[in-house]
Amino acid sequence: MYKSDNSYIPKALVAVFLWSTAFASIKVGLRYLPPFMFAGLRFFFAGVILIPFAGKISDYLKEIKGNYKTILEVALFQTIILYSLFYNGLSFAPGSVGSIIVGSGPLFAAVMAHFAMNNDKMSLKKGLAFVFGVIGVSIIAFQKGGAANSNHYIIGVLLLVLSNISSAWGNVVVAKKGKNISAIALNSGQIMVGGLVLITISLIFEPSVSIPNSVEFYISLFWLTIVSAGAFSIWFKLLKSGVKISSLNLWKFLIPILGSILSWIVIPNDYPTILSIVGMSFVAFAVLWYYKH
């Protein structure tokens, strides 16, 4: 399943750990800003801080100009659609549950790669792993948090599932079309474009916001900026290097475990339930089944 050279694994683990820390910080930031504005600021600043790491500014601009179509397509699926759904979904669902659902992303990525990539087909046994994953997500989706907000809860879960689909296609775009641009330039360009679009959407559709006066908010924004700049640049580089989408995304199975624990520790009134543990177990089993077959 994996490339014979497994040197990419430590890098994949670093990206996965960074992503697993994001859930608690997002929940903190959403106390101060609406979803689109908060996401837009996070991504725009992440793109800006990557520019000095992309080499000479003239070379950076040349790469951006020569690959603008790829950058726009990645921005659409990997930032604009994905995080519009993700942030709004997480505003309805607890951080721990959000991390579990997003943690089923490897299964969505595997199915997408099966249909979109010639060298990344999924067998019947791997298909069964996807079924187990869907069962796990469904268990999480239909646990009721109370009659008063159950509809919002289900909407949040649906949005998070759709964000997985967008992320899976974004991986395919990077693997297929990102060969002629460096991972850092690609991430910087797409994430800045995505951030600006999300900020624009916020200015049109979200209520006017005031500048937060909270150290807690700026700490969360700073950390999420680092996560976006680092994790996506690592991920894009690995996808461009030829690592199979399904193989690489398997390491994301660690995200629900680490993300849930962090959310339960940091976020008030966010705690494990029997159904969330059962759903997590199904998802973990599905990914392990896929890995072994």
- Going from the C-alpha of 143 to that of each of 13, 111, 169, 222, 260, the distances in angstroms are 30, 26, 28, 33, 16
What integer pLDDT is reported at residue 2 of this predicted model? 40
Retrieve residue 261's tokens.
């624990």
What integer pLDDT is reported at residue 150 of this predicted model? 57
Beta-carbon neighbour count of residue 86 at 10 Å?
A: 25
What integer pLDDT is reported at residue 146 of this predicted model? 43
Query: 95: Cβ–Cβ under 8 A, 6 or more apart, which residues?
Result: 23, 24, 26, 27, 259, 263, 267, 270
- In the predicted model, residues of the chain with pLDDT beneath 50 are 1-4, 144-148
Task: Please give the residue range of the domain that contains residue 193.
Answer: 25-292
Retrieve residue 147's tokens.
């009659």
Give pTM, 2 decimals.
0.82
**Total domain count, the chain:** 1
In a domain, 20, yes or no: no
DSSP annotation of 207: P
Could you identify the residue written with the tokens 């725009």? Answer: 44
CA angle (9, 12, 13) in 5-degree steps? 90
Beta-carbon neighbour count of residue 212 at 10 Å?
A: 16
In a domain, 224, yes or no: yes
CA 137 to the chain's CA centroid:
16
Q: What is the CA radius of gyration of the chain?
A: 18
Could you identify the residue written with the tokens 């890995």? Answer: 291
- Are 184 and 234 in contact by the 8 Å Cβ rule? The answer is no
DSSP annotation of 267: S
What integer pLDDT is reported at residue 144 of this predicted model? 46
In a domain, 4, yes or no: no
- Between CA 136 and CA 158 the distance in angstroms is 14
CB neighbour burial string for 57-74, b if at least 16 within 10 angstroms, e if fewer: eeebeebbeebeebbebb
- Between CA 271 and CA 25 the distance in angstroms is 16
Retrieve residue 17's tokens.
């750990």
In a domain, 223, yes or no: yes
C-alpha closest to that of 112 among 176, 179, 57, 193: 176
In a domain, 97, yes or no: yes
Query: 204: Cβ–Cβ under 8 A, 6 or more apart, which residues?
Result: none
- Using DSSP's 3-state secondary structure scheme, residue 34 falls into coil
In a domain, 3, yes or no: no
